[in-house]
Amino acid sequence: MIKLRPSAALSVIFNVLAFSASAPAETINAAGATFPAVIYQKWFQEFRKVHSDVQINYQAIGSGAGIQQLTQGTVIFGASDVPMTNDQMAKISKFKVLHFPSVLGAVVPTYNIEGLKTPLNLSAQSLAGIYLGAIGKWNDASLKKDNPGVNLPDMEITVVHRAEASGTTFVWTDYLSKVSPEWKSKVGPGSASVNWPKGLGGKGNEGVAGTVKQTPGAIGYIELTYAVQNKMEYGAVKNSTGKFVLADFDSVTEAAASTAKAMPEDFRVSITNAPGPKAYPISTFTWLLIPAKFDNATKKNAVVEFLKWMLTDGQKFAAGLNYAPLPKPVVDKEEKQIGLIQ
């Protein structure tokens, strides 16, 4: 019986090899954030249609893992929603790391409560309270205050967070620490790895979404697209001007607007709690971590081609997948940075 599997596999292998012999593809391995994984997978698929000789295999294993694998040299480039720190970049001796913002996205608080007709209004204090364990039930007074007239159930809140080092966690905690002094003092500033006071750990944005979707009374933080694609409810968050804003194309674009013109040279910037009446406060850029120097010319050309495509054609896919395209000034600056890649 074992003889059957290997030989069946062999024949398929030969077929595949024969097939691909006609179109030898350069495989580029990349790994990193799950936050943009939905659009990245779409991009790499679409890019392959245009450049059939380039196959970018992207594994969404988390921002922290993307940075580590880039450091170890097991992937050609990485992806992260949290910019690399100077220390992290210093650990890579072979090359300098260039940050390329790829797309804009939003981290939304998603929850699993039956019978709600409208999105919940969630302030930073509520979210911090929930994640700190101070607010234990959905019908807590502070939640009721922000949601008058909503029938909040007498149910325990099951907190879901990320199990591994996550850029999405960074954005979430960065926002919480900016607006909740209690969060900042008890847990600390924004970070990819957090000592969570309570809750279940999900693996990747998908794992958190999957757990929340399955667990009545749960709350989690995920990228907007995961909530929309899975028809999950998500709340409106109080922004810097005091209004409760739902994440969408406009609110995320507005969050990036003020930074767009003042983008630092290395593109490492946080846009949480951005100014603007319609801005969604938990918006973020997400970055591709590209080496400034490549050993292999074919791979370098492939990556450069992809970056150019991403900044032009790629951006058109953003809206349809619940992300937002990069502001024009940022795109222009990035196109200049491409020239730095050797």
Partner 1 sequence: MGRTKRRNFVNNVMLALTGVCTFITVAILFLILGFLVWNGFRSLDWNFFTKLPLSPGETGGGLANAIVGSGITILIAVIIGIPVGFLGGIYLAEFGGKTFPMFVRYTADLLNGVPSIVIGIFAWTVIVVPMHTFSAWAGGFALSLMMIPIGLRSTEHFLRSVPNSLREGSLALGATKTRTIMTVVVPAARQGILTGLILGVARIAGETAPLLFTSLNNQYWSEKLTEPTATLPVMIYKLAISPYDDWHRQAWAAGLVLLGLVLIANIAARWVLSRGASVQRG
Partner 2 sequence: MGTAVIAAPPQPAARSFVKRLQEGDKAAHLITLIFAASVFLVTVFLVYELWIHSSPSRAKFGFSFLFTKTWDPNAEQFGALPFIYGTVLTSLLALLISVPLAVGAAIFLSELAPPKLSNTCTFLVELLAAVPSVIYGLLAIFTLVPLMRQYIEPFLKKTLGFLPLFQGAPYGFGYLTAGVILSIMTFPFIISISRESLLAVPREQREAALALGATKWESTWQVVVPYARLGIIGSIFLALARALGETMAVTMVIGNDPGIHTSLLAPGYTIAAIIANEFTEATGEVYPAALVELGLVLFLITIILNASAQLLIVATTKKGSKQD
* Site for partner 1, rule CB under 8 A: 1-2, 5-6, 8-10, 12-13, 16-17, 20, 24-25, 27, 29, 31, 37-38, 41-42, 44-45, 55, 57-59, 61, 72-74, 202-204, 206-207, 209-213, 225-226, 229-230, 232, 321
Residue 177, interface with partner 2 (CB under 8 A)? no
The number of CA neighbours under 13 Å toward the Cβ of 154 is: 0
The amino acid at residue 248 is D
Output 143 or 247, the one with its CB closest to partner 2.
143
Residue 308, interface with partner 2 (CB under 8 A)? no
**Selected binder of partner 2 within 39, 54, 65, 103 (CB under 8 A):** 65
Residue 73, interface with partner 2 (CB under 8 A)? no
| Nearest distance in Å: CB 294, partner 2 | 22
Distance of CA 296 to the CA centre of its chain: 29
326 binds, among partner 1, partner 2, none (CB under 5 to 8 A by kind): none
DSSP 100: E
Query: How far apart (Å, rounded) are the C-alpha atoms in residues 218 and 212?
Result: 5
Query: How far apart (Å, rounded) are the C-alpha atoms in residues 59 and 34?
Result: 9
85 binds, among partner 2, partner 1, none (CB under 5 to 8 A by kind): none
Query: How far apart (Å, rounded) are the C-alpha atoms in residues 18 and 12?
Result: 10
**Selected binder of partner 2 within 126, 205, 211, 283 (CB under 8 A):** 211
- The answer to whether residues 318 and 102 touch, using CB atoms and an 8 Å cutoff, is no
Residue 279, interface with partner 2 (CB under 8 A)? no
Token look-up 């077929």 returns: 15
Query: How far apart (Å, rounded) are the C-alpha atoms in residues 28 and 55?
Result: 6
Instruction: Considering only residues 107 through 136, tell me which ones interact with partner 2, judged by CB under 8 A.
Output: none
**Selected binder of partner 2 within 203, 300, 308, 333 (CB under 8 A):** 203
Token output for 53: 């000789």
Give me the helix-helix angle, 37-50 and 204-214, nearest 10°.
130
CA dihedral for 308, 106, 188, 275, sign (positive or negative): positive
Task: Please give the residue ranges that form the binding site for partner 2 (CB under 8 A).
Answer: 31, 61-62, 64-65, 67-69, 71, 88, 91, 156, 158, 163-165, 188, 191, 193, 195-196, 198-203, 211, 214-215
